[in-house]
């Protein structure tokens, strides 16, 4: 017979400290729970509507509680059931969502609503079945299972990680310490009132055990908390130092024709800024590698400017050397480059890194006058 999976053994935060008691947290929650429109009051016999819990959790992904409340209220007023949301035209749902950002979330939300409505309008009371629905990841599935169905699912978000790291003085940095924090959270999740407990830990992290200034005297777990005893509370959780962003360099050509037209090209479809209009230039290579310094896209008196265009993308920083030239009416671009009228207006429409290069070059080119 296969062995039953082992429950994680709860750790004691400090040898001489009491174990954190979920009942103490629930008693605090009964007094201090945040009143939110998708919740039922602590300890209420009636569970909240799974549709409302699901809708709120989808909206709360990457958005704050304060920003979500008015959107949640609008959606619930307009589409009080999952069947009504499922029947709504997509453009109306997207218009109601406008401002919450991350539109893929809204599309997945509507897909999910349609699947649930087609299956009879009930959300599954099962964490794995919830995870199989569009837009529901591990955190959201656990949150819906716990809050809507009172299943003892382990709900771990940034708030819960912070509380666990402090409670047990877990000093290893994120993200490596995440599995331990999850195991610690699982070890504390009670069989009694797990839905209220999940919301209680979230509320503790959001209102008492806050990132910078935890209010330890107000905390129901203050006696058990190892970080408070060790004076480490505000330092935890630690984060692994960010790796330095790679630095790349490249060359761009800013060509201004005498009638004010700007020399541009359409970038290759693949890669960063693929398919967008940009300045002609070379490849962007790691700064330690030799610079790709191609031939100019048309003959002219090209000069290197002392100023360089700098821009930071998510995964690397870029410095572009600028070659600039004032070009005559006979200039004939090669290699797919073309002239577009009104350099300043076109520059405003370019991706930021190219706009910066044009803004650095234009004053010099305009001051140089024809013939440079």
Task: Provide the token pair at 72.
Answer: 């949640």
- What is the smallest separation between the CB atom of 191 and ligand SF4, expressed in angstroms? 22
Per the DSSP assignment, residues forming a β-bridge with 327 are 257
Note the helical H segments in the chain.
22-32, 50-60, 65-78, 82-87, 90-97, 103-118, 127-131, 138-149, 158-167, 178-188, 194-207, 226-230, 343-349, 352-368
By three-state DSSP, how is residue 247 classified?
strand
**Does residue 227 touch ligand SF4 according to CB under 6 A?**
yes
- What is the smallest separation between the CB atom of 218 and ligand SF4, expressed in angstroms? 7
* Per-residue binding letters, 3-42, with ligand SF4 (x by CB under 6 A): ----------------------------------------
Among 38, 221, 339, 354, interactor with ligand SF4 by CB under 6 A: 221
Among 36, 83, 183, 216, interactor with ligand SF4 by CB under 6 A: 216
**Does residue 311 touch ligand SF4 according to CB under 6 A?**
no
**Does residue 202 touch ligand SF4 according to CB under 6 A?**
no
**Which residues in 231-250 contact ligand SF4 (CB under 6 A)?**
233
Task: Provide the token pair at 157.
Answer: 């978000």
Quick one: three-class SS letters along 84-112? HHHHCCHHHHHHHHCCCCCHHHHHHHHHH
**Does residue 208 touch ligand SF4 according to CB under 6 A?**
yes
187 or 299: whose CB is closer to ligand SF4? 187
10 or 121: whose CB is closer to ligand SF4? 10
Among 68, 209, 347, 350, interactor with ligand SF4 by CB under 6 A: 209
**Does residue 160 touch ligand SF4 according to CB under 6 A?**
no
- What is the smallest separation between the CB atom of 322 and ligand SF4, expressed in angstroms? 51
Q: Distance between the two ends of the chain, CA-based, in angstroms?
A: 86
- What is the smallest separation between the CB atom of 195 and ligand SF4, expressed in angstroms? 21
Q: Which residues have CB under 8 Å from 205's CB, separation 6+?
A: 157, 158, 159, 160, 162, 163
Among 39, 105, 193, 228, interactor with ligand SF4 by CB under 6 A: 228
**Does residue 188 touch ligand SF4 according to CB under 6 A?**
no
57 catalytic, yes or no? yes
∠ Cα 344 349 355 (to 5°): 65
Per the DSSP assignment, residues forming a β-bridge with 340 are 262
- What is the smallest separation between the CB atom of 213 and ligand SF4, expressed in angstroms? 10
Give the separation between CA 226 and CA 171, rounded to whole angstroms.
11
Dihedral sign for Cα 113, 118, 122, 127, please: negative
- What is the smallest separation between the CB atom of 66 and ligand SF4, expressed in angstroms? 22
Task: Provide the token pair at 335.
Answer: 């290699």
- Give the active site residue among 57, 127, 161, 364: 57
Strands 247-257 and 317-327: parallel
Task: Provide the token pair at 256.
Answer: 């201004």
**Does residue 166 touch ligand SF4 according to CB under 6 A?**
yes
Which residues are identified as catalytic?
A: 57
Q: Which residues form the interface with ligand SF4 (CB under 6 A)?
A: 163, 166-167, 208-209, 214, 216, 219, 221-222, 225, 227-228, 233
């Amino acid at each position: 017979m296969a062995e039953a999976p082992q429950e994680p053994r709860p750790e004691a935060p400090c040898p001489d400290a009491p174990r954190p008691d979920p009942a103490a947290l629930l008693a605090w929650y009964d007094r201090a729970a945040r009143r939110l429109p998708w919740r039922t009051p602590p300890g209420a016999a009636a569970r909240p509507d799974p549709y409302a819990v699901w809708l709120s959790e989808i909206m709360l992904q990457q958005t704050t509680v304060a920003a979500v409340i008015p959107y949640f209220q609008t959606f619930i007023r307009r589409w009080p059931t999952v069947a009504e949301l499922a029947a709504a035209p997509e453009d109306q749902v997207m218009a109601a969502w406008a401002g919450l950002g991350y539109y893929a979330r809204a599309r997945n939300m509507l897909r999910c609503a349609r699947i649930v409505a087609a299956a009879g309008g009930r959300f599954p009371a099962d964490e794995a079945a919830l995870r199989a629905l569009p837009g529901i990841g591990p955190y959201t599935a656990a949150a819906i299972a716990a809050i809507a169905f009172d299943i003892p699912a382990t709900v771990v978000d940034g708030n819960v990680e912070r509380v666990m790291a402090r409670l047990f003085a877990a000093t290893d940095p994120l993200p490596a310490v995440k599995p331990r924090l999850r195991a610690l959270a699982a070890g504390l999740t009670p069989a009694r009132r797990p839905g209220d407990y999940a919301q209680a830990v979230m509320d503790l992290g959001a209102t008492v055990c806050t990132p910078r200034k935890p209010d330890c005297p107000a905390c129901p777990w203050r006696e058990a908390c190892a970080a408070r005893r060790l004076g480490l509370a505000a330092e935890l959780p630690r984060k692994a130092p960010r790796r330095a962003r790679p630095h790349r360099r490249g060359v761009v050509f800013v060509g201004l024709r005498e009638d004010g037209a700007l020399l541009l090209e359409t970038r290759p479809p693949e890669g960063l800024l693929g398919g967008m209009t940009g300045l002609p230039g070379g490849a962007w290579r790691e700064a330690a590698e030799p610079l790709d310094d191609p031939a100019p896209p048309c003959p002219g008196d090209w000069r290197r400017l002392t100023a360089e265009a700098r821009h930071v993308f998510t995964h690397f920083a870029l410095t572009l050397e600028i070659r600039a030239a004032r070009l005559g009416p006979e200039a004939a671009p090669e290699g797919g480059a073309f002239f577009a009228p009104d350099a300043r207006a076109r520059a405003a429409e370019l991706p930021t890194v190219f706009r910066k290069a044009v803004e650095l070059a234009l004053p010099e080119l305009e001051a140089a006058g024809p013939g440079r």
